[in-house]
Structure 1
Amino acid sequence: MYGHVPVCPVPGPPHEHRCPSCPLFPWASRAVVLTASLVPQVACEYGMVHVASKDGGPKGKDYCILYNPQWAHLPHDLSKAPPLQLRNWTASLLCSAADLPAHGFRDQIPLVARGNCTFYEKVRLAQGSGARGLLIVSRERLVPPGGNKTQYDEIAIPVALLSYRDMLDIFRRFGHLVQVSLYAPNEPVLDYNMVIIFIMAVGTVAIGGYWAGSRDVKKRYMKHKRDDGLEKQEDEAVDVTPVMTCVFVVMCCSMLVLLYHFYDLLVYVVIGIFCLASATGLYSCLAPCVRRLPFGECRVPNNSLPYFHKRPQVRMLLLALFCVAVSVVWGIFRNEDQWAWVLQDALGIAFCLYMLRTIRLPTFKVSEGGSPSSVQSGSSIMVEVATGPSDSATREKLPMVLKVPRLNSSPLALCDRPFSLLGFGDILVPGLLVAYCHRFDIQVQSSRVYFVACTIAYGVGLLVTFVALALMQRGQPALLYLVPCTLVTSCAVALWRRELGVFWTGSGFAKALPPSPWAPAPTDGPQPPKDPATPLSPQPPSEEPATSPRPAEQSPEPCTPEEMGPGAPTREPRSPAEPEGPDQAQLHPLAQHSSSA
């Protein structure tokens, strides 16, 4: 979870506080740099300038300004900020008395250009000519206007910096006869968009963990599965090993450092990878729903194309084209702040669900050893990379986050961080543990105790992250709170149920336990009644669970000679008394002979 408060650099841009560069004193610049590094950072705050037309034109609009409260404080309420006429004086730098107009800036707020002199000289001249405030237009990065203590005592009017882009938008939208009001509303403790982020994050973890656990256990109990084409083949799960965890951590740290230093080059690589991965994840999430549709079951004709020679169903082909189209649309309009975040969140959730279904924790101790909470010390670098460097030439943002626009109006939302972000890692890492808990629940038939407890612990950890964000007013590494909550809760439940040893090593997955109530029935035929006095005995890992004989009327449809090959013998339907499996058929030759007769 990333938030941000403005951190201001040392006062003044290079051309306004320039270090001496006399060739006779090469040590001078180093001394000034050393002295500047010891100077405390200038106090600065984000504020707003409310612009409205004097002749009742379009509705007013707020623009971002950066000001120094040590010059003069701004009111927190717009109703207490008097509207004043804005005077366009950008043709002048306002560095000398000759730059002042003949009648001064009586009850006006002049708009002047930045450069050639200090901020103090500009605001001193403006205040002496009757100005009620000063706006300095900057083509460069906004920095706080600063000065020494005596200069702060002399000035009684506010001075702020406005970006050149916003100045152009003001004159284009409202013309040159405008009124402005300078104010700085208080930042809300928490934004309402946290509720949306909470629902998306907890919902993704719960659905992904439930889906991954159910799918994995279902595959263990399904002995016979007819291949109905490539689109019905389930992806094999990848077990996380300690070596894989170490490699993953090293790659993430290396990528983080590379992005920090070469952000403008690698950001497009990350965007391309996200488009491919999110399209795959969206297809994986929608495929089970599309397969239930009663139309589009026909297949493409025979061909020799690389993928189409497997003759996919038309509905699955259309689904693949739809997923690619959604990903491409987001890639083209990714910088549209009004609606592109909806597509990014949908693709991101689909990607997280796909990863939770594909990656699997074989044991609990892997999650304990691979806990990334110890890697979160460089949170400042993580926040800088996740939100995008402020000096980036491309202005691109990394898409590996869920983002929701701020719902409260505030200077921070207007100036610097219009979105609240939650990284994919804050969903995937705890989500793998939630999926592990669900798999373990089904194996030991514990009525989803581990799954529910771990999901609730994730929600509590996310709430703790929100509280820390509100108290510290800076970006928080969410895994620092999520990982301990989920790990401690899972261990506590296992200790309470006296299953900590099995839960720790994952030995419950090494043997085939009796079918759980949520597992699919192994056959469609009727099951013989079970003797309640007969104890259940687990089967060895190498053996498959026994299946009941298939009735004659439900015998599988025989394959045609074309499907089985030119030299393959035809297969007759089995009788109800014939057992399934090649090994059992060899043990009962009499039954096989009578069946063929």
Structure 2
Amino acid sequence: MEGAVKTLTLLALFVAARQVNCQEAILHISNGITDREYCIVHNHSWTPLSQTLDGATQYPLVNLTSTMLCNGSGVSPDLVKGKALVVMRGDCDFSQKALVAQNLGATTLLIASNKSLITPSANDSDYAKVHIPLALMRYRDFLDAQQVIGEGMTVKLYAPVLSKIDASIAVILLIAIVTVALGGYWSGTCERDRLNSGAGLEGGADNKADSGELSLYSPLKVVIFVAMMCGMLVLMYFFYNVLVYVIIAIFCLACASALFSCFDAVMEKIGCGTVSFSIRTWNFSVRSLILAAVCISIAVVWGVNRNEDRWIWILQDLLGVAFCLNFMKTISLSNFKICVILLSLLLVYDVFFVFITPFFTKNGVSIMVQVALGPDASGEKTQGNMVEVPAEPQAPSEKLPVVMRVPRFSAWAQNLCGMQFSILGYGDIIVPGLLVAYCSRFDVWINSTKKIYFVSCCIAYLLGMILTFVVMLLSGMGQPALLYLVPFTLITSAVVAGCRGEMKHFWAGTTYEVLDSREPLLPGVLPSNPDFSPASLCPF
């Protein structure tokens, strides 16, 4: 059952998300005593705004929400000249409203909307005609300003520049590399414990099965597994509104179990004792009961508050790290051949569902992005250069909880339109992490004191992640990280094995049914020499 839960959860992990180039800005309203700031949406390429509040020009605000301003009839130029206008959305294009306001002598046009705020646009011929700032605001925000500030309102419009290089990227990178390194180290430690316990390689298959660990050793099973993932992703695309709750439930169960495993391993490492007691024929550990209660509580708190953006990301990242660590420790790839097959297929899977599927979908959005962001996510549907902000409070749309999320710190104080996050899918940690875990176990098999395979693969993963973020920043859109991580990690591992003359053994790995732990993996190495390390055969 545990294996089935892990398998189902993995099917939902490999998603990607792209960042959007937001065109959100801030409306500062004041009467000299009280001031408020609200979210507005503008088109920077059409009517650019000041980047700072101090640099923005202040204008008196005239309330014309009783009209759509599709023509100038009934509006006195003396009333609006040199002032900012707020009018209602509808009946005509944004550019027509702007031209009418401009001809009347207005200096700024705010369009109040009861619908979602979208980036204003116009025909190419109209861009050159409009010279005044134009932005959309929520009508409910204007009513709030009227109630709080009252008469004599003045406004300033400004759009702070958000740096593409945000500290959240460094945090995401740190989370990823630490998780991969810890997961690989944990897998290697468990392998060494099995060898030292006397179970060895000879009875390793049964021992792994008894411990609940799963091993992928058949190429056919790997192909079937990836095919199931493709089918699961397509099902999520067509039946998202139902299956998303199934994934959320599985996520809570799997993460509670993973968090328990991580905490229990830490307790065991630091030598924390435990007290056991029996009730009839059942034995209970006080430490296990306390840990189980804590882990279940954390998962429940996340499940209940999963749509609270301001702080729930901390719990989601904690659960995500625990899940990835436990997955890398539990799921093992038996040899490098399986690693190559699995990672190569997942690379093709990632690229196909991100870059190819937009040619087949009705809205031109890739299946991967649609599933990752949810059907209500609008940033990708507008190709990254448009935004859409709800005009009224809405029930948050459910999203798959399979990404690390860190708020963009540069936009932390400017989230009037909604918080912005840097994200990384769990699959971008787990997939290369399985290869890192295999390298760590192989170091144990060959008794490498320098852990050359493990360290080299971790460095390759770090370089691959750095390249992923560099390309993302240069291109202005999210990237399928496996496109860079898979070649970096596979090629690095193969080069190390080839340099050391161990490719044959690295490729074949170990079959637990055949090899005996009392014999070295490499021929010609005497088991009686415990200080011998095959790493000495290679200068690194």
Instruction: Sort the TM-score into its range (normalised by shorter chain).
Output: 0.7 to 0.9
C-alpha separation in 2, matches of 1:165 and 1:435: 54
1:359-413 CA-partner distances (Å, limit 9, x unpaired): 0000111111112111222324323332334458752222100000001139997
C-alpha separation in 2, matches of 1:300 and 1:170: 65
Shift of 1:323: 0.8
Whether 2:340 is the aligned partner of 1:368: answer yes
The match for 1:536 among 524, 527, 532 is: 527
Whether 2:300 is the aligned partner of 1:320: answer no
**Which stretch has the larger CA shift, 261-270 or 289-298?**
289-298
Give yes or no for contact 2:217–2:333 (8 Å, CA) kept in 1. yes
C-alpha separation in 1, matches of 2:228 and 2:143: 44
Change (3 A) 1:262 1:413: farther
Change (3 A) 1:419 1:118: same
Give the AA of the match of 1:253: C
The match for 1:511 among 492, 515, 522 is: 515
Shift of 1:295: 6.0
C-alpha separation in 2, matches of 1:146 and 1:185: 20
Whether 2:145 is the aligned partner of 1:159: answer no
Give yes or no for contact 1:221–1:515 (8 Å, CA) kept in 2. no
Change (3 A) 1:64 1:444: farther
Whether 2:373 is the aligned partner of 1:387: answer yes
C-alpha separation in 2, matches of 1:339 and 1:172: 30
C-alpha separation in 1, matches of 2:245 and 2:151: 40
Change (3 A) 1:169 1:352: farther
The match for 1:435 among 434, 437, 458 is: 437
Change (3 A) 1:254 1:66: farther
Whether 2:233 is the aligned partner of 1:256: answer yes
The match for 1:69 among 21, 42, 45 is: 45
Equivalent position SS for 1:203: helix
Whether 2:215 is the aligned partner of 1:238: answer yes
1:545-566 CA-partner distances (Å, limit 9, x unpaired): xxxxxxxxxxxxxxxxxxxxxx
C-alpha separation in 1, matches of 2:148 and 2:313: 26
Change (3 A) 1:507 1:295: closer
Shift of 1:248: 2.8
Give yes or no for contact 1:49–1:182 (8 Å, CA) kept in 2. yes
Residue in 1 that maps onto 2:502: 499
**Which stretch has the larger CA shift, 344-353 or 284-293?**
284-293
**Which stretch has the larger CA shift, 277-286 or 93-102?**
93-102
Give the AA of the match of 2:241: D
So what's the TM-score if we normalise by structure 1? 0.72
Residue in 1 that maps onto 2:473: 470
C-alpha separation in 2, matches of 1:245 and 1:99: 72
Within a 5 Å distance, the mapping from 1:32-431 to structure 2 comes to 46-57=23-34, 60-61=36-37, 63-67=39-43, 69-70=45-46, 72-98=47-73, 100=75, 103-164=78-139, 166-167=141-142, 170=145, 178-223=153-198, 234-291=211-268, 296-302=274-280, 310-371=282-343, 372-377=346-351, 378-379=353-354, 380-390=366-376, 394-409=396-411, 415=417, 418-431=420-433
Give yes or no for contact 2:440–2:453 (8 Å, CA) kept in 1. yes
CA RMSD in angstroms comes to 3.0
C-alpha separation in 2, matches of 1:179 and 1:284: 58
Shift of 1:457: 0.5
1:444-487 CA-partner distances (Å, limit 9, x unpaired): 12220000000010000000011001110001111111111000
1:285-316 CA-partner distances (Å, limit 9, x unpaired): 111234566565132522xxxxxx53221221
Unpaired runs of 5+ residues, structure 1, are 7-44, 226-232, 303-308, 517-533, 539-597
C-alpha separation in 2, matches of 1:386 and 1:442: 37
Give yes or no for contact 2:179–2:324 (8 Å, CA) kept in 1. yes
Shift of 1:169: 5.8
C-alpha separation in 1, matches of 2:151 and 2:279: 67
1:492-541 CA-partner distances (Å, limit 9, x unpaired): 0000000011101114865234599xxxxxxxxxxxxxxxxx94389xxx
Residue in 2 that maps onto 1:573: none
Shift of 1:489: 0.4
Equivalent position SS for 2:478: coil
Give the AA of the match of 1:536: P
Change (3 A) 1:94 1:224: same
Give the AA of the match of 2:229: C
C-alpha separation in 1, matches of 2:278 and 2:155: 65
1:170-190 CA-partner distances (Å, limit 9, x unpaired): 556656654332233434231
Give yes or no for contact 1:444–1:508 (8 Å, CA) kept in 2. no
Shift of 1:155: 1.9
Residue in 2 that maps onto 1:5: 20
Equivalent position SS for 2:23: strand
C-alpha separation in 2, matches of 1:444 and 1:465: 32
Change (3 A) 1:293 1:492: closer
C-alpha separation in 2, matches of 1:499 and 1:513: 18
Equivalent position SS for 2:183: helix
Give the AA of the match of 1:449: I
1:193-248 CA-partner distances (Å, limit 9, x unpaired): 111111110000000011012202322331379xxxxxxx8433333532332233
C-alpha separation in 1, matches of 2:57 and 2:195: 72
Change (3 A) 1:99 1:299: farther
Structure with bigger gyration radius: 1
Residue in 1 that maps onto 2:11: none
C-alpha separation in 1, matches of 2:199 and 2:232: 43
**Which stretch has the larger CA shift, 106-115 or 427-436?**
106-115
C-alpha separation in 2, matches of 1:137 and 1:244: 57
Shift of 1:165: 5.7
**Which stretch has the larger CA shift, 420-429 or 171-180?**
171-180
C-alpha separation in 1, matches of 2:367 and 2:74: 44
Residue in 1 that maps onto 2:388: none
Whether 2:499 is the aligned partner of 1:486: answer no
Unpaired runs of 5+ residues, structure 2, are 1-15, 201-209, 355-365, 379-394, 530-540
Equivalent position SS for 2:411: coil
C-alpha separation in 1, matches of 2:150 and 2:515: 77
Give yes or no for contact 2:109–2:133 (8 Å, CA) kept in 1. yes
The percent of aligned pairs where both chains have the same amino acid is 40
Shift of 1:264: 2.9
1:243-280 CA-partner distances (Å, limit 9, x unpaired): 33223322322332333333333322222121111111
Give yes or no for contact 1:75–1:81 (8 Å, CA) kept in 2. yes
Equivalent position SS for 1:154: coil
C-alpha separation in 2, matches of 1:439 and 1:83: 66
